[in-house]
Amino acid sequence: MPNIAKRMSNVSPSAIVQVTNKVRAMKAEGRKVISFSIGVPNFTPPQHLFDAAHKEIDEGTLAYLPGRGTDELINAYLYRLEQDGFAGYKKENVAVTLGAKNALFDLFYSLIDEGDEVIIPTPYWTSYADWVDMVSAKGVYLRCGAEQNYKLTPEQLENAITPKTKMFLFNNPSNPTGMVYTRDEIKAIADVLVKHDIWIISDDIYDKLIFDGEKFHHLLHVCPELQDRMIMTQSISKTYGLPGWRVGMVAAPEAVTKQILTMTSNTIMNVPGVMMAAAAAAFKGPHGFMGDLRTIFAEKRNMVMDSLAKVNGINCPKPQGAFYAFPDVSAYFGKTYNGKKLNNDVDVVEAILEEKEVAMVPGSAFGEPNSMRISYACSNEDLTEGLKRIEAFFAEIQ
Ligand code: PLP
């Protein structure tokens, strides 16, 4: 058999997908696994999204569609941008992609040369590091541990920028930590970025999932001067509950959206029209359901925090957004469960899966090996039971 390309040697299948596959296999064996592993919201999207998709099936075209997106979708997204406080965006500045993943990969592929430095606050969402490897860039991973609430400081950013820095990748609210930056924190980061001519990707896919009455603050809100270098990515996966329908959006300077269109025309050609119709309906609104969603997720977040507070030695900065918690469990490294030594995050997560049948993702998949990720977007029943099992696991550790 001929060789696989060398460039794939550092790239592994998504760690999250690997855990998901393992859970599927265990369930197929009849085991009662509770999954806190995948970032899929557990709510039914509003009916008008389905109605729009049905209408497109009945009345839409079967032909190829514009790579940038249908006019209906583009206009709906421009409307949403305006509603969200982003002025000055026109048709040339936006493009649809097959989920935010497709957008982010295309951006890495078309903006980064071999050896360019990409600054990524860590913990980061898993795929970022794989894209760095895929395009032979140099990832500059700035560790932001639990002791600093998993948040990047302006000093860390300033010290990391070199003449080779090409891009800064920012995700707020954060997957995997659920952290949300305050306005002052965003402003301090923007004050550094404004001095340096680098691309900024702002992965905003959790922007509507913020709790406790807190507001979403964007780098562009506090520093509109960044607009000519700012690339914003969005998706219908999380806030609209449609991860499998694969619609992402990019808003960026025209020079960047042009590259996205080039990539689209040579790869996926267009996003399916049925999905674009649903996405257009999503962006047009109404968005009333999101208030309920925030209340529901905040309650689940509280359940997680109350449970973890009962476990000695776990430090979990309180998430204010998304649907993840990221407890630091390093106090348990070196201890023993049922005769098995727990050397690191992978050992802890694997032991909890084997012994208590609760699935999570080890922190090392996100570049932070002291922690593990709990995705709490499941039913309250599963959440209560899974948390009870995790508490029992740590209580039984020697
Ligand atoms: N960015 C972050 C931070 C994510 O958590 C995810 C999905 O989990 C994505 C991007 C990809 O989203 P999509 O489903 O739109 O490809």
* Residue pLDDT, tens place only, 142-161: 999 999 999 999 999 999 99
The answer to whether 329 and 372 have CB atoms below 8 angstroms apart is yes
CA 40 / ligand 1 centre spacing (Å): 10
Could you count the other beta carbons within 10 Å of the beta carbon of residue 11? 13
Lowest mean pLDDT among 38-47, 50-59, 276-285: 38-47
How far apart are the C-alpha atoms of 272 and 96, rounded to whole Å? 10
How far apart are the C-alpha atoms of 179 and 103, rounded to whole Å? 23
User: What DSSP character marks residue 333?
Assistant: T
CA 336 / ligand 1 centre spacing (Å): 35
Which tens digit of pLDDT belongs to each residue from 384-393? 999 999 999 9
The answer to whether 359 and 24 have CB atoms below 8 angstroms apart is no
The answer to whether 154 and 191 have CB atoms below 8 angstroms apart is yes
Tell me which of 14, 102, 237 to substitute to probe ligand 1's pocket, judged by most ligand atoms within 8 Å of the beta carbon: 237
Q: Closest ligand 1 atom to the C-alpha of 16?
A: 8
Q: Closest ligand 1 atom to the C-alpha of 203?
A: 1
The residue among 248, 243, 218, 239 whose CA lies nearest residue 294 is: 239
Kindly report each contact of residues 152-157 with a partner whose C-beta sits within 8 Å and lies 24 or more positions away, as own/partner.
152/121, 152/189, 153/188, 154/188, 154/189, 154/191, 154/192, 156/121, 157/119, 157/189, 157/192, 157/193
Greater pLDDT, 55 or 289 = 55
CA 123 / ligand 1 centre spacing (Å): 15
Question: E strands of the chain, at which residues?
Answer: 34-35, 94-97, 117-122, 138-143, 165-171, 199-203, 230-235, 248-251, 324-325, 335-337, 340-342, 358-359, 361-362, 372-375
Which amino acid appears at position 219 of this protein?
A: L
Which tens digit of pLDDT belongs to each residue from 165-180? 999 999 999 999 999 9
Which tens digit of pLDDT belongs to each residue from 98-154? 999 999 999 999 999 999 999 999 999 999 999 999 999 999 999 999 999 999 999
Place of tokens 């509603």: 83
How far apart are the C-alpha atoms of 202 and 86, rounded to whole Å? 13
Using the CB atoms, write b or e for 12-41: b if 16+ within 10 Å: eeebbeebbebbeebeeeeeebbbbbbbbb
Mean pLDDT of 333-342: 95
The answer to whether 353 and 386 have CB atoms below 8 angstroms apart is no
CA 313 / ligand 1 centre spacing (Å): 31
Model confidence band, residue 367 (pLDDT cutoffs 50, 70, 90): very high
How far apart are the C-alpha atoms of 214 and 337, rounded to whole Å? 40
The residue among 330, 118, 315, 84 whose CA lies nearest residue 218 is: 84
CA 362 / ligand 1 centre spacing (Å): 18
Which tens digit of pLDDT belongs to each residue from 269-279? 999 999 999 99
The DSSP H or E segment spanning 389 is helix 380-395
Ligand 1: which residues within 6 Å by Cβ?
Answer: 39, 99-101, 125, 171, 175, 203, 205, 235, 237, 243, 248
Pinpoint the alpha helices (H) of 217-272: 219-222, 254-266
CA 69 / ligand 1 centre spacing (Å): 20
Q: Which residues contact 222 (CB under 8 A, 6 or more apart)?
A: 183, 186, 187, 190
- pTM to 2 decimals? 0.96
Mean pLDDT of the chain: 95
The answer to whether 187 and 215 have CB atoms below 8 angstroms apart is no
Using the CB atoms, write b or e for 300-310: b if 16+ within 10 Å: bbeebbebbee
CA 45 / ligand 1 centre spacing (Å): 17
The residue among 165, 306, 159, 175 whose CA lies nearest residue 243 is: 175
Q: Closest ligand 1 atom to the C-alpha of 171?
A: 3
Both structure tokens of 284: 């047009």
Which amino acid appears at position 275 of this protein?
A: M
First to last CA, the chain: 49
Q: Which residues contact 27 (CB under 8 A, 6 or more apart)?
A: 33
Angular region, 351: left φ>0, alpha ψ -120 to 50, beta rest: alpha
CA 125 / ligand 1 centre spacing (Å): 8
Tell me which of 37, 38, 101 to substitute to probe ligand 1's pocket, judged by most ligand atoms within 8 Å of the beta carbon: 101
pLDDT for 14 beyond 80: no
Tell me which of 16, 37, 235 to substitute to probe ligand 1's pocket, judged by most ligand atoms within 8 Å of the beta carbon: 235
Whole-number pLDDT of residue 18: 77
The DSSP H or E segment spanning 190 is helix 183-193
Of all protein residues, the one whose alpha carbon is nearest to atom 5 of ligand 1 is 175
